[in-house]
Amino acid sequence: MPQVTWVLVCDAMPIQEASTATLEAALVTGAAVIDVRETDEYESGHVPGALHVALGAVPEHVDVFRTETVSYIICRSGARSRRAAEYLAEQGIETINVAGGTLDWIAGGRPVVTGSSPL
């Protein structure tokens, strides 16, 4: 099982959090990753296989996050993905926030995909 930690922010729901290294290992086993950045950010470079649901559209696309396994949520640095994870937790959907976000993913020398397609 991937290494994750629980984070509690003020009165918010407890959210699982994982590093980009943990996400990378989880992707090998078929984990789902969803990018909640704006469209232009996503298209400029995202984790291979990441689906795109901008943060503002999360409430209309909650079903995308209902997967057989826990979805990883990523953004630029981890703040927007944490907000998405908190909202989804309130809806009864367990997710994992990726700490450090796409910035950390890229800084680690990991591959990125450009354009609107996940792959």
Catalytic-role residue among 51, 75, 88, 98 = 75
**From CA 83, how far away is CA 65, in angstroms rounded?**
14
**Catalytic site includes residue 75:** yes
- In the structure encoding, which two tokens stand for residue 64, read together? 């995308």
**From CA 3, how far away is CA 1, in angstroms rounded?**
7
Q: Are strands 15-18 and 71-74 parallel, antiparallel or unpaired?
A: unpaired
Instruction: Give catalytic residue positions.
Output: 75
